[in-house]
C-alpha cells in the first residue's frame, strides 16, 4: 500500500507551482554560487603559484644559516567550495626558523586576486544548503498532516483499509523525494561546472569526497524535513505548523550555534590573547638579560662589519638574529667574537623557544577544549552538525590545519637537530659565506619538508560523529512522528 500512496503524492508534489519555484531557485543559487566560487578558487591558485615561486627564489638565494626561514604555503583545495571552514579566517603561509614556531595563530595570508570578488567567498555550498534547503523543507513539510486535515481529506483516506504508519511512510517518502530532486539536479550540474572549469584534477579521492558529501547533505535535508513533518503532526492547522516550524528553525539554526560559544566561554573560558602576549614578553625580557650577561663574558672586539641595517656592538646585537645577520670581513677578532657569540646565544635562544612552544601549545589546547564544549552544546542543531561534518570531510576544519601544523612543528625539530648534529652554531657558516667549504646551496643541505594530506578515511572518520548525531535525530523524529500520528485526530 505504500507504493500507491508514494506515487500519488509524488505526482501532486512535482506538478505543483511550489515545486517549480523551489527547483528554479535552488538551481540558480547553487550554480551561480558555484561559478563565483570557482573564479575565486582560480584567483587563489594563481596567487599560490606566484607566492610559491617567490618563496623558492628566496630560499635558493640563502647562503648563510642565520638567514634561513623555511616557508610553506598551503595549496587551495577545491573542496573549500563545498565548505570554506577556516580557509577564510586564517592565513595560508606558515614559516619555521630558529625564532619561529608554527602555530594556527601565527600565519600569513596572501592577497586575493580580486578584493571585490572576495566578498562572495563566505557563501559556500554548505551555507547555501543550510539556508535554502532547510527553509524549503519547512515550507514543504509543514502541511504534510495538518494540511490534509484542513482539506478534510485525512479522515477520508484513513477510513480506507490502510494503516496509519503506511500512509505516513508513503507521504513522508514522497515529500522527501520531491524535495531532493532540485537538490540532486543542482548538485550534479555544480559538479559538472567544476569538471569543465579545469579547476582541479578529479581523481578517485575527490569523487569519494564528493559522493560522501552528497549523502551527508541528503541526510541533513531529511532531518530538516522530518522536523517540519513532526511539527505538522503536533498541530492541527497548517498556519500554526508553519509559524512553529519557523520558530524552531530560528532556534536550532540561528540561536543555538551562535549562543553556544558564549555559554561555553562562561563555563570554560578561553585564554585571552593578551595573556599570551604578556607571557611571551616576559620570556623575551629574560632572554635579553641573559644575553647581556653573555656579552659581558666575551672579550670585546673592534668591529669591521658590512651588515644589513644599523649595527651597534653590545646588547643590540642579539636583535639582528631575528631577521638574520651577515658579517663579511677578514678581520679575525671580529670573526672570533661573532663565532663565540653565536655559539652561546643561539642555543640559549632554543631553550627559550622551547618554553614559548610549551606556552603556545597550552593556549591552543585550552582553545580546543573551549571548541569541544561548544560542539557539545551545539549538537542539537542540524545546521551545526552538517557544517562541522562538511568541514571535516572537505579538510577545512581546525583539525586539518592542526594536523599540518603538527607536521611542520616536527619539521622544525628536525632542523634544530640538524643544527646541533652539524655544529652549525659553532661554524662561520652561520653568519658568513666567505669560508664555506660546502658549495651546495643551504636549501639542499637541510632536511626537506613534505606535507602529507589526510587521506579520505581520516576525513570520513572526523565527520562520522556528526553523521551519527544526524542519524539519531532522524530516527528520533521518525519515531516521534509515528507515535503522534497514531493518536492524531483526523476529524
Q: State pLDDT tens for residues 206-254.
A: 889 999 999 999 999 999 999 998 898 888 888 888 898 899 999 988 8
Q: What is the pLDDT of residue 111?
A: 55
Q: Which of 23-27, 177-181, 298-302 has the lowest mean pLDDT?
A: 298-302
SS3 188: helix
- Domain spans in the chain, listed from the N-terminal domain onward: 1-267+378-491
Q: What is the pLDDT of residue 270?
A: 67
Q: What is the pLDDT of residue 386?
A: 93
Average pLDDT, the chain: 82
Q: Cα–Cα distance between 243 and 152 in angstroms, integer?
A: 21
Strands 93-96 and 70-73: antiparallel
CA torsion sign for 421, 427, 430, 435 is negative
pLDDT beyond 80 at 140: yes
Q: State pLDDT tens for residues 87-129.
A: 777 778 888 887 788 877 777 776 554 444 444 455 788 988 9
Phi, psi dihedrals of residue 55, rounded to the nearest 5°: -65, -40
Tell me the CA distances in angstroms from 458 to 57, 392, 399, 451, one per residue in order: 35, 9, 11, 15
Average pLDDT over residues 162-170: 80
pTM of this prediction?
0.85
Q: State pLDDT tens for residues 402-422.
A: 888 888 889 999 999 999 999
Q: What is the pLDDT of residue 337?
A: 82
Helix axis angle, 204-234 relative to 456-486, nearest 10°? 20
Amino acid at each position: 500500500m505504500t507504493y500507491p500512496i508514494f506515487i500519488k503524492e509524488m505526482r501532486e508534489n512535482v506538478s505543483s507551482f511550489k515545486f517549480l519555484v523551489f527547483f528554479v531557485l535552488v538551481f540558480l543559487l547553487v550554480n551561480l554560487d558555484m561559478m563565483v566560487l570557482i573564479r575565486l578558487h582560480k584567483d587563489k591558485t594563481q596567487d599560490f603559484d606566484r607566492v610559491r615561486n617567490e618563496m623558492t627564489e628566496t630560499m635558493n638565494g640563502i647562503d648563510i644559516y642565520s638567514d634561513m626561514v623555511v616557508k610553506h604555503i598551503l595549496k587551495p583545495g577545491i573542496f573549500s567550495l563545498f565548505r570554506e571552514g577556516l580557509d577564510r579566517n586564517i592565513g595560508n603561509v606558515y614559516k619555521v626558523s630558529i625564532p619561529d614556531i608554527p602555530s594556527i595563530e601565527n600565519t600569513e595570508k596572501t592577497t586575493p586576486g580580486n578584493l571585490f570578488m572576495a566578498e562572495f567567498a563566505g557563501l559556500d555550498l554548505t551555507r547555501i544548503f543550510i539556508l535554502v534547503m532547510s527553509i524549503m523543507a519547512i515550507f514543504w513539510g509543514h502541511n504534510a498532516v495538518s494540511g490534509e486535515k484542513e482539506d478534510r481529506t485525512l479522515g477520508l483516506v484513513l477510513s480506507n483499509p490502510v494503516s496509519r504508519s503506511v500512509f505516513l511512510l508513503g507521504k513522508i517518502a514522497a515529500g522527501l523525494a520531491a524535495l531532493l530532486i532540485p537538490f540532486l539536479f543542482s548538485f550534479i550540474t555544480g559538479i559538472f561546472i567544476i569538471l569543465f572549469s579545469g579547476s582541479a584534477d578529479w581523481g578517485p579521492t575527490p569523487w569519494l569526497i564528493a559522493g560522501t558529501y552528497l549523502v551527508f547533505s541528503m541526510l541533513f535535508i531529511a532531518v530538516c524535513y522530518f522536523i517540519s513533518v513532526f511539527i505538522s503532526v503536533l498541530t492541527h492547522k497548517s498556519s500554526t505548523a508553519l509559524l512553529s516550524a519557523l520558530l524552531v528553525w530560528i532556534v536550532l539554526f540561528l540561536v543555538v550555534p551562535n549562543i553556544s560559544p558564549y555559554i561555553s566561554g562562561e563555563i570554560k573560558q578561553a585564554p585571552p590573547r593578551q595573556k599570551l602576549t604578556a607571557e611571551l614578553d616576559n620570556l623575551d625580557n629574560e632572554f635579553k638579560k641573559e644575553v647581556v650577561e653573555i656579552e659581558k663574558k666575551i672579550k670585546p672586539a673592534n668591529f669591521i662589519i658590512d651588515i644589513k641595517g644599523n649595527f651597534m656592538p653590545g646588547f643590540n646585537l642579539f636583535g639582528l638574529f631575528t631577521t638574520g645577520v651577515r658579517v663579511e670581513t677578514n678581520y679575525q677578532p671580529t670573526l672570533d667574537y661573532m663565532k663565540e657569540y653565536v655559539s652561546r646565544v643561539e642555543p640559549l635562544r632554543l631553550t627559550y623557544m622551547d618554553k614559548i612552544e610549551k606556552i603556545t601549545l597550552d593556549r591552543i589546547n585550552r582553545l580546543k577544549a573551549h571548541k569541544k564544549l561548544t560542539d557539545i552544546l551545539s549538537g542539537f542543531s542540524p545546521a551545526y552538525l552538517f557544517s562541522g561534518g562538511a568541514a571535516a570531510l572537505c579538510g577545512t576544519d581546525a583539525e586539518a590545519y592542526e594536523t599540518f601544523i603538527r607536521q611542520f612543528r616536527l619539521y622544525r625539530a628536525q632542523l634544530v637537530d640538524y643544527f646541533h648534529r652539524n655544529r652549525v652554531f659553532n661554524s662561520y657558516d652561520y653568519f658568513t659565506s666567505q669560508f664555506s667549504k660546502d658549495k651546495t646551496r643551504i636549501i639542499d643541505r637541510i632536511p626537506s619538508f613534505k606535507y602529507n594530506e589526510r587521506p579520505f578515511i581520516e576525513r570520513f572518520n572526523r565527520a562520522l560523529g556528526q553523521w551519527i548525531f544526524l542519524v539519531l535525530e532522524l530516527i528520533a523524529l521518525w519515531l516521534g512522528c509515528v507515535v503522534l500520528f497514531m493518536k492524531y485526530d483526523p476529524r
